[in-house]
């Protein structure tokens, strides 16, 4: 085996999942994470179909995920007075199992911390590759040498920027911004959610952690904005400006936003690259092929990508040139299919006019009675299952 030391940037989903499988195959993974600790909160993510579930099962974490599942059922669209106008069943937007992103990150961390070195509170600042490896400089720590570097650091990947180029070359803005944070379940939602849609805007709340709290979500349509990713105060000011006078629970949620410990704000986007590797550096998950947070495919795609990447490195005995090529051959069509699930969703999420918003609300009201009501769920499941995973178990370290 060659190239056994692997630095992974990012500790959310793809990073720890990759570390798990790399260790199983005899590699030595290290994860560097910019935040000082695991990030809690975040939106609910779901897994659907045997491709996703089989990987979770083989990792031994499916039971843990099922115990922490959100259990959220239908989502009701309400008017400004909070009266339900339409109800969408859970299978339209959730998979076989749904879990909060922060809870999933904790489960993955617990499954990997004994055999993976975690470096929190630091970030990669430069990558210098030679014939034998990569010298990595960090924002805080001393430089270190690794055989391979994998970017699993999301839509705004630092690794991708350093190795491939600026975001503008690869990130496609879908015309929508999203904010999410934890708040009190003051509507007493019982494993359900409420959403309020107006022209170019949507506000939603759904219960979380067995109704002990709730998640507030804001979506608004906008061209790309020039915002500092770390300037939370400015992000919150923009959100307040966008939703001023919106109605329903908006004002209360905007007030509670200022005290939320886990406020998250970003554009909704997809990532498109011609190649997912360059030399000894490769990308996985959202950093390589984000289908957008609106697709419902990102977490499952990241999980499968980590499984395949680690498996191909093991099959190639660490030869990154062979492994990275095979990883892309196995994953490219699957990732493209998952990305198609995100195309067009943004316009449905935040229609641009009052007329379209009203029309969509009326359509949702009658949709449960239409013959094709389950079509979206069937299409999503077909995309999630559109890959035949290779069995790499024979390559696992005994």
The model's pLDDT over 280-331, given as tens digits with 9 standing for 90+, comes to 999 999 999 999 988 888 999 999 999 999 999 999 999 999 999 999 999 9
The predicted pLDDT at position 376 comes to 67
Q: For residue 321, how many other CB atoms are within 10 A of its CB? A: 11
CA distance 292 to 267: 9
Query: Which one, of 334, 335, 337, 310, lies nearest residue 324 by Cα?
Result: 310
Q: What is the pLDDT of residues 191-200, one digit of tens each?
A: 999 999 898 9
CA distance 43 to 28: 31
The predicted pLDDT at position 359 comes to 75
Q: What is the pLDDT of residues 177-191, one digit of tens each?
A: 999 999 999 999 999
Q: Which helix (H) or strand (E) holds 281?
A: strand 281-283
The predicted pLDDT at position 367 comes to 67
pLDDT at residue 9 greater than cutoff 60: yes
Query: Which one, of 111, 294, 259, lies nearest residue 184 by Cα?
Result: 259
CA distance 18 to 313: 11
The predicted pLDDT at position 199 comes to 87
Number of H-type helices and E-type strands within the chain:
13, 18
pLDDT at residue 35 greater than cutoff 80: yes
The predicted pLDDT at position 397 comes to 72
pLDDT at residue 342 greater than cutoff 90: no
- The two three-digit tokens of residue 46, written as one number: 């779901």
Check if the beta carbon of residue 195 is closer than 8 Å to that of residue 178: no
Q: For residue 168, how many other CB atoms are within 10 A of its CB? A: 8
Cβ neighbours of residue 233 closer than 8 Å, sequence gap 6 or more: none
Q: Which one has a higher pLDDT value, 176 or 91? A: 176
Rounded-to-5 percentages of helix, strand, coil across the chain: 35, 25, 35
Q: pTM of the prediction? A: 0.92
How high does pLDDT run on average in the chain? 91
What are the structural domains of the chain? 5-349+377-395 (3.50.50.60)
Cβ neighbours of residue 26 closer than 8 Å, sequence gap 6 or more: 1, 4, 314, 397
Question: 150-154, 231-235, 294-298 — which is least confidently predicted?
Answer: 294-298
The predicted pLDDT at position 87 comes to 82
pLDDT at residue 234 greater than cutoff 80: yes
Q: What is the pLDDT of residues 90-145, one digit of tens each?
A: 766 667 888 999 999 999 999 999 999 999 999 999 999 999 999 999 999 999 99
Q: What is the pLDDT of residues 359-395, one digit of tens each?
A: 777 767 766 666 555 666 777 788 888 899 999 988 8
CA distance 133 to 145: 7
Helix (H, G, I), strand (E, B) or coil at 193: strand
The predicted pLDDT at position 91 comes to 65
CA distance 15 to 27: 14
CA distance 144 to 137: 7
Rounded to 10 deg, the angle between the 375-384 and 320-340 helix axes is: 180
Check if the beta carbon of residue 60 is closer than 8 Å to that of residue 66: no
The pLDDT-based confidence of 258 (bands split at 50, 70, 90) is: very high
The predicted pLDDT at position 370 comes to 60
């Amino acid at each position: 085996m060659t190239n056994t030391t692997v630095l992974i940037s990012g500790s959310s989903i793809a990073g720890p999942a990759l570390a798990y499988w790399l260790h199983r195959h005899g590699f030595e993974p290290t994860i560097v994470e910019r935040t000082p600790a695991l990030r809690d909160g975040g939106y609910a993510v779901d897994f659907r179909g045997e491709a996703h579930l089989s990987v979770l099962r083989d990792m031994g974490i499916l039971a843990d995920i099922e115990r922490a599942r959100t259990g959220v059922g239908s989502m009701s669209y309400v008017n400004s007075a909070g009266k339900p106008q339409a109800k969408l069943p859970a299978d339209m937007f959730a998979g076989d199992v749904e879990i909060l992103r922060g809870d999933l990150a904790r489960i993955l961390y617990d499954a990997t911390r004994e055999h993976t070195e975690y470096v929190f509170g630091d970030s990669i600042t430069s990558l210098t590759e030679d014939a034998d490896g990569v010298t990595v400089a960090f924002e805080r720590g001393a430089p270190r040498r690794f055989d391979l570097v994998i970017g699993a650091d999301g839509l705004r990947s630092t690794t991708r920027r350093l190795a491939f180029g600026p975001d503008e070359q690869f990130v496609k803005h879908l015309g929508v911004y999203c904010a999410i944070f934890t708040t009190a379940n003051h509507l007493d939602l019982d494993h359900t959610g409420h959403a309020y849609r107006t022209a170019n805007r949507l506000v939603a709340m759904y219960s979380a952690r067995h109704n002990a709290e709730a998640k507030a979500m804001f979506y608004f349509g906008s061209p790309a904005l020039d915002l500092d990713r770390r300037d939370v105060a400015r992000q919150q000011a923009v959100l307040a400006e966008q939703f001023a006078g919106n109605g329903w629970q908006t004002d209360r949620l905007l007030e509670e936003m200022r005290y939320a410990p886990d406020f998250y704000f970003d554009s909704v986007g997809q990532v498109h690259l011609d190649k997912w590797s360059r030399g000894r550096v490769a990308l996985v998950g959202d950093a390589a092929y984000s289908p957008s947070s609106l697709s419902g495919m990102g977490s499952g795609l990241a999980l499968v990508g980590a499984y395949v990447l680690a498996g191909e490195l093991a099959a190639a005995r660490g030869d990154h040139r062979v492994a990275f090529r095979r990883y892309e051959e196995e994953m490219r069509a699957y990732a493209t299919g998952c990305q198609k699930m995100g195309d067009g969703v943004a316009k449905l999420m935040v229609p641009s006019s009052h007329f379209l918003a009203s029309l969509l609300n009326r359509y949702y009201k009658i949709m449960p009675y239409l013959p094709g009501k389950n079509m979206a769920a069937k299409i999503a499941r077909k995309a999630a299952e559109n890959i035949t995973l290779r069995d790499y178990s024979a390559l696992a370290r005994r």
